[in-house]
Amino acid sequence: MVSSSNRTVPFPLPGSGKIGYQDLGVRAYSQSDVARLFKVSPARLRSWERAELVGPSVVVDSEPAYEYQDLLCVRAVLDLLDRGVPLRRIRRSVASLRRTLPEMDRPARALHMWHEGSGRMVLRHEGVLLEPGGQSVLDLGGAAPDNVTQLVQPSEAPVDQAGEWFELGCRKDTDPETYEDAITAYRRALEIDADFTDAHCNLGAVLYNDGRRDEARVCFERALQLDAGHLESNLNLANILEEDNRNEAALQHYKAALRADPLRADVHLNLSLLYEKLGLRRKARSHWRAYLQREPDGHWADVARSRLEEE
């Protein structure tokens, strides 16, 4: 099911690691790669793209992809969120920087906390520390100066209230003790934007994990009414259908998820298992091979190798 996490993790330097693919010598990462790399849900990553904080900047095989510098933006946003900076404030700061310093490439990448516990965001530009929320600062080794100058008005930036509630839901949907908080947050997001597909999907996921399968199914179905190719909704609805032994219907949704992301490892895993259940071993084997290409280590990789060695 869809889940989210706030943990920041290191990522491979250009040209290293197993994640991503090459394009003219540039290391590139799909949206699914980036979500997996930073242990956030693809839906949460999409919400940051929607807020224009992060986003892919290269194209590989006609698909948008992230390069290394784009990953730095993701890490910067996640780090600020981990430190308690509200998403609204990050959006306003980035919008202010785009207006004030239009020549700056990927402004989110430059933002960081001035020092631990300060609660202030700064960036260094041309040797000067700036506070994009409205003040310039002096580089005094962490001591806050008294002589500050107003630069911009962050309130000019638009506020995506649905995105704010969605972000809160993502922070709350991994712990059973805060499931109700997550459900409330996602529902508030949908009150503001009834067509917020990712909010419908994530609401369905947390409802499912809370044992409310019928309500979850309705959420996934609503998400697919809005976007028939929505990967996580197809995958989650397929799981529910398979649990109900509606295997042919589940297969159609797994196939839709595969069309949305042919490289997604867990889609290949689910197809492998379902094809085996249906007695279609040859088709299962092709997906076991595809799964191993994306996930060469771990329990299911061992299962995949054993299945492929059987014949």
Helices (H), the chain: 31-38, 42-50, 68-82, 87-100, 161-172, 179-192, 197-209, 213-226, 231-243, 247-260, 265-277, 281-294, 299-309
pLDDT at site 119: 55
Taking CA atoms, 228 is separated from 46, 50, 137, in Å, by 17, 19, 49
Pull the structure tokens for residue 202.
């994530």
Please report, in angstroms and rounded to a whole number, the separation of the first and last CA atoms in the chain. 32
Q: Residues 6 or more apart from 221 whose CB is under 8 A from it?
A: 237
pLDDT at site 264: 87
- Sign of dihedral through CA atoms 131, 137, 142, 143? negative
Pull the structure tokens for residue 278.
């249906």
CATH 1.25.40.10 is held by the domain 163-217 = yes
Buried (b) or exposed (e) across 233-245, using 16+ Cβ within 10 A? bbbbbbbbbbeee
Taking CA atoms, 306 is separated from 289, 292, 309, in Å, by 11, 11, 5
What span, in angstroms and rounded, lies between the C-alpha atoms of 61 and 290? 18
Note the pTM of the prediction, 2 decimals.
0.71
pLDDT at site 210: 93
What span, in angstroms and rounded, lies between the C-alpha atoms of 139 and 51? 30
DSSP code of residue 122: E
CATH architecture under which domain 1-110 falls: Orthogonal Bundle (1.10)
Q: Residues 6 or more apart from 141 whose CB is under 8 A from it?
A: none
pLDDT at site 291: 94
pLDDT at site 16: 31
Per-residue confidence of the chain (311 residues) as pLDDT tens digits? 433 323 233 333 333 333 344 443 447 888 888 888 888 888 888 888 888 888 888 887 777 888 888 888 888 888 888 877 778 878 877 777 777 777 777 877 777 655 455 456 656 555 555 665 444 443 434 444 333 333 333 344 455 688 889 988 988 898 999 999 999 999 999 999 999 999 999 999 999 999 999 999 999 999 999 999 999 999 999 999 999 999 999 999 999 999 998 888 999 999 999 999 999 999 999 999 999 998 899 999 999 999 999 86
Specify the domain boundaries for CATH 1.10.1660.10 within the chain. 1-110
